[in-house]
Amino acid sequence: MFSKTWQTSPREYGIAINRDVAIPVRDGVTLDSDIFRPDAEDRFPALVAVHAYGKPTQSMEMMPIGFSYARGFIETGDFNFYVRRGYALVVVNITGTRGSGGVFGNIDPQSVEDVCAALDWVAKQPWCDGNIGMTGVSHFSRVSKRVAALGPPNLKAIFAPYGWTDMYRDLYYHGGIFNYGFMAHWVSGHGQFFNTENSLKEEWGEEKYFEVVKERLADPEINSVPFLADALRNPDEGANSMLVDLIVNNLLGDYFKDRSVDFENTKIPAYLGGDWGVYGLHFPGDIRAFENWKGPKKMTVGPPVYLDRPLYQYDYESLRWFDYWLKGIDTGIMDEAPVQLFIVGTDEWKAADEWPLPETRWTPFYLHANGLLSEHEFWPNEGFTTYEESPFSHGSAQFTSPPMVEKTEICGPIVLNLFGSTTDTEIFWFVSLLHFDADGKETLLTRGWLRGSQRRLDADASMPWQPVHQHTEREPLTPNEIYEFNIEVRPYGIELKAGERIGIRIKCSDADDKPADYLQLIGTGHVARRTAAHVSIHHNAENPSHLLLPITKGNRVGTYISGGKLPPYPPEE
């Protein structure tokens, strides 16, 4: 792969394989690995891929299929590709999984230190030249980012798109609402192969531990989900202790901070990114990483279809990245714009130097009476929209823009600033951003969530286009009192054509949502309130609920409530 001005490592080596190699990381603990390397006497850079899954599956040579839970964990990349181009690939099971020793702590600090020790071991092998990269997506990416934040000396670059960076916000507590759906699949599919211990019980002592467990079991949000209630009743069975950790730590505290990325010393070059469709899992974390990473960085955001399994699509892009940073080859990759975005609707790529895009015009689309979503200011006495929410009836409110009269690009972070009230002391907001084509066909683009009692913002971290909530305490609502809720709707990039519309649907549950695919499924599966309430969305001059959209092209004169259609002349009688 080369152009007139740059090249990449040629395809020239055969493959030597060493399976089930035990890598010593600390006294009495080894990590199980498979090592794939060129069949030559030279020394080569090594790529290390760390995961929690079945190791043999990561190197199975099979025809790729679209992402699903069946193969979702095959995320290393093709060893044949890298080894034939002069890299060793070391696939490692993280601490406490499968054949690796120690206790699985869900990417806790100890397991990250163990990976650093494994990198040091790899760098000293006779077939390694001392230069190491880390690769892989999802679980692999999460580990790579955490390790890079510690700055081990031989780690020269990571290729780590598709990996959350804030364990609380990105995955387990969307807007403070517990997201158990993905965890239910993950634990049932892999938990039996984890060596877990009830470390929280040891830390707190049995009296406090079981007191908190009893309290959570009394919570209708939790005990109405059999999977969660069973874990609390049997905390020492299988991987249940890990589930209990997530349930009892329902606010953003040390448990989640210890497993999230600290960007303070992130100086190692990082290739980040994801796609618009993985809003319920990885994508927000990579956006955060790109905004906060201190070292050289790039970000690519692809079409909303995730990646095939076994993973292979980014082979050449990762080769360019590793050739540049590990072999010193001028691949041209650092001469390109650092941000590459696939725009839905054009099916083309857009380059940028920063995120959010510098040309963004943040435009408020106000929520009006009769379901109108428009840039128009409020008319007098518009009032509010009310619906019912209960375990038996999940109401909703929908607001839709007029048809576009010109091509309009929306690309970037999105916020719904919502003034709402409820007859309950708590409210869950579920927001869906919708696209309607010229024939009225509806497509879900992305989502946002917020638990009303955790509405307090982190003033230092928040921006008008990016609310960041503290999630450190719950402040119950006063029934029928109006509050402002700043709801992060996860980013998207789309071009709307003339005649197409944008809209939002607001609900208080996703219990009756019917996902169209596995990516939409990842964005569902949250706990629900078990009480009945009337919910009101206030939209008037005093309570200006609005959707803040990042307009990056078009919409220069705004949408036409008339539809841009002139009345006939002479007027019809």
pLDDT, tens digit, for every residue of 92-124?
999 999 999 999 999 999 999 999 999 999 999
| Cis omega (within 30 of 0) for bond into 570 | yes
pLDDT tens for residues 467-484? 999 999 999 999 999 999
What is the average pLDDT across 310-325?
97
Cα distance between residue 67 and residue 102, in whole Å: 31
* Cα atoms in the 13 Å half-sphere on the side-chain side of 11: 7
Give the DSSP H/E element, type plus range, for residue 207: helix 206-217
268 CB-near residues (< 8 Å, 6+ apart): 148, 151, 155, 156, 157, 158, 295
Are 94 and 52 within 8 A, CB to CB?
A: yes
Question: pLDDT band for position 46 (50/70/90)?
Answer: very high
Tell me, what's the pLDDT at 571? 81
Question: Could you state, in order of their start, the residue ranges of all structural domains in the chain?
Answer: 15-165+261-336, 178-255, 361-553
CATH number of the domain located at residue range(s) 361-553 in this protein: 2.60.120.260
Q: What dihedral do alpha carbons 109, 111, 114, 119 form, nearest 10°?
A: -100
What is the average pLDDT across 229-242?
94
Question: pLDDT band for position 573 (50/70/90)?
Answer: low
pLDDT tens for residues 514-555? 999 999 999 999 999 999 999 999 999 999 999 999 999 999
What is the average pLDDT across 324-330?
97
Cα distance between residue 361 and residue 342, in whole Å: 19
Q: How far is CA 276 from CA 144, 191, 306, 360, in A?
A: 21, 29, 9, 18
What is the average pLDDT across 496-512?
96
SS3 378: coil
Q: How far is CA 82 from CA 93, 298, 323, in A?
A: 19, 21, 11
Q: Does domain 15-165+261-336 have CATH number 3.40.50.1820?
A: yes
Mean pLDDT of the chain: 96
- Tokens describing residue 499: 């005649």
Return the beta strands (E) in 262-375 as ranges.
270-275, 297-302, 339-343, 348-352, 361-367, 373-374
SS3 6: coil
pLDDT tens for residues 180-207? 998 888 888 888 889 999 999 999 999 9
